[in-house]
Structure 1
Amino acid sequence: MTRTVRAKAPAKVNLQLTVGPPSSDGYHPLVTVFQALDLWETVEATPRTDGEITLALEVPAGAPVDATRVPLDESNLAWKAAALLARTFGIDDGVDLRIVKGVPVAGGMAGGSADAAAALVACAEAWDAGATRAQLATLAARLGADVPFSLHGHTAVGLDRGDRLTPAMTHGEFHWVLATQSEGLSTPTVFAELDRRRAAREQATSDFEVDGALMRALMAGDAVALGQALTNDLEGPAMSLMPRLEAVLDACDAADACGAIVSGSGPTVAALARSRQHALAIAAHLKAAKVADAVVTASGPASGTVVVAD
């Protein structure tokens, strides 16, 4: 009997993102600390018997998402995930995929990677593929550097391309305010700008190791200490490409955020609050300052990709 399976995967913020020089294959090795946030991408998978894959999109009212920038063909990571799973497990059936967007597009929060992770889990269940979580994690790494963390969730240290994950110990809950822009930033372009800045000696190379102060703040559940330890090598390049991000960071500072950082390759700025109430106050300040196209609050760490009950 055909059934629809729904899975959800979280957004992420990089608490630390240290980028090494590019290797011979063009990829940059990373030391990063991820935290999953309770903003979700949901993917529904309904098997079909003709071997075809289709993709539809829904953007809930109020979600900070520009639907026109989401491809609905085989270039979409959710589509690629379904096709890879089918090839790997010898599945002849097709699938109708429906994505419900809740994470900004090209915002540095891994919304596309969350789609891929949710599609892997939903399709594996809908097709009754018998895939283990470890097998799905292996496929996730083939789809993109952030996809394994979207599957894993919580808080984790990522090495190499960010896909070698080790869980990080945390205490309590952290509250975030996310200031998004309608215009995105291309991840390859931001990395290229980092390389240019370093070659021109405009930006130094960071110590290539996990930040001890950041890990201690996570274990203590200390938002103030964590805010002071946030680092991102891509923040300078992102601000160079989109100078108005400086005004967002200044507004976060004026709102007494514990810390603020460009998330991943940007342009979303993530501000850390002392409490849920403080997050709401920061959000109100950012909205009044009109430095972002949308402002949302979220908490972490959130779970990894899970099947959602009807």
Structure 2
Amino acid sequence: MAEVTVQAPAKINLHLGVGPVRPDGFHPLATAYQAISLTSRVTARDGGDWALTCTGHDGVDVSGVPLDDTNLALRAARLLASRAGVERPVALHLDKGIPVAGGLAGGSADAAATLLACATLWELDIAAADLAALAGELGSDVPFGLVGGSAAGHGRGELVTPIHDAGRYDWVVLTFDFGVSTPAAYAEFDRLHAGTAVPVPEIPAALVEALANGSARELADVLANDLHPATLQLRPELAEPLSAGLDASALAALVSGSGPTCLFLAEDRDHADKVATQLTTYGRVRIAHGPVTGATVL
């Protein structure tokens, strides 16, 4: 093969339960992921040397994306080559449709897509579980980028198990021209909970039931994000668009992961269009649906 292109989705957290910080600095999580139809593509080609280029589509600004070895996609390719004993450098091209630094795991999606693209390009006989283990070494959200759909995440999020989901959910995704540092959001979470006993997180049974029933209204009642208050402390200006979305009849509104992206659940696509029209003054509005598949060879 001369080249392989793989598409991978953005993730949102339907539930993000955060536990007390561990000795290694990570927080134990109990999260319910959902993959949504904002996607990025990674193309891997045989090259004389390791290289990375990047473009964006659907208005995604990629000016801040690193093109060196700090980029998670290039790290993914090098890690897989090292573990598989491959000596074939690749030139990677990222075409990003997932907003950068928005709490949607765009970099993790790139890394997941890269692992699958390179494994395919190099014709590796590697088990899905082994690829997922490598993904977990790269970052907490990378394994979910391979799995997609709706899934439970435990550990620091890297231990992924599919959740039965009978529904389709329409989301209004509001992004901004600023980011929120994930480490800063967790540090603020720790500050807000200083001196209190933080419980071990669990995924609510009601959320699993809502997904099994495929009910957007049931899901709206159980959406939760333990980082939501911390992110609002760091970016209090997010409170206004969140309220505006609810005033526009969204079934629920919450911050995506560590933010700053805001999510609004709608009853269907027509309802999402209606909600979206009331949010255009706050940032860039996109409409997406989920769940969708994980990393897929095109």
Q: Same fold by TM-score, threshold 0.5 exceeded?
A: yes
Deviates more, 1:65-74 or 1:185-194: 65-74
Distance 1:210 1:221 in 2: 17
Distance 1:275 1:199 in 2: 41
Question: 1:167 and 2:162 equivalent?
Answer: yes
Preserved CA contact (<8 Å) 2:19 2:200: no
Residues 190-211 of structure 1, C-alpha deviations (whole Å, 9 max, x = no match):
000000011166xx84662111
**TM-score, normalisation: structure 2:** 0.97
CA 1:59–1:250 in 2, change beyond 3 Å: closer, same or farther? Answer: same
Cross-structure match for 1:45: 44
Question: 1:243 and 2:236 equivalent?
Answer: yes
Question: 1:271 and 2:264 equivalent?
Answer: yes
Distance 1:271 1:200 in 2: 33
1:141-290 alignment to 2 at 5 Å?
141-199=136-194, 205=198, 208-287=201-280, 290=281
Partner amino acid, structure 2, of 1:218: L
Question: 1:131 and 2:126 equivalent?
Answer: yes
Preserved CA contact (<8 Å) 1:28 1:161: yes
Cross-structure match for 1:96: 91
Cross-structure match for 2:282: 291
Partner amino acid, structure 1, of 2:91: D
Partner amino acid, structure 2, of 1:251: A
Distance 1:32 1:208 in 2: 9
Deviates more, 1:133-142 or 1:263-272: 133-142
**What is the number of equivalent residue pairs in this alignment?**
298
Cross-structure match for 2:53: 56
- Runs of 4+ in structure 1 off by over 6 angstroms are none
Q: 1:130 deviation in Å?
A: 2.3
Preserved CA contact (<8 Å) 1:18 1:206: no
Preserved CA contact (<8 Å) 1:252 1:282: yes
Residues 96-153 of structure 1, C-alpha deviations (whole Å, 9 max, x = no match):
1000000011100000000000000111111222222222111101100000001100
Q: 1:36 deviation in Å?
A: 0.3
Unmatched 5+ stretches in structure 1: none
CA 1:268–1:206 in 2, change beyond 3 Å: closer, same or farther? Answer: farther
CA 1:206–1:298 in 2, change beyond 3 Å: closer, same or farther? Answer: farther
Distance 1:207 1:141 in 2: 21
Deviates more, 1:4-13 or 1:123-132: 123-132
Identity %: 45
Partner amino acid, structure 2, of 1:306: T
Distance 1:254 1:230 in 2: 18
**RMSD of Structure 2 on Structure 1 (CA):** 1.2
Q: 1:95 deviation in Å?
A: 0.4
Q: 1:303 deviation in Å?
A: 0.1
Give the counterpart of 2:111 among 107, 116, 134: 116
Cross-structure match for 1:9: 8
SS in 1 for 2:39: strand
Cross-structure match for 1:22: 21
Question: 1:302 and 2:297 equivalent?
Answer: no
Preserved CA contact (<8 Å) 2:7 2:39: yes
Q: 1:236 deviation in Å?
A: 0.5
Distance 1:125 1:249 in 2: 42
Distance 1:296 1:205 in 2: 35
Residues 59-104 of structure 1, C-alpha deviations (whole Å, 9 max, x = no match):
12x33x2211111110000000000010011111100100000001
Distance 1:283 1:248 in 2: 11
Partner amino acid, structure 2, of 1:59: G
Distance 1:176 1:200 in 2: 36
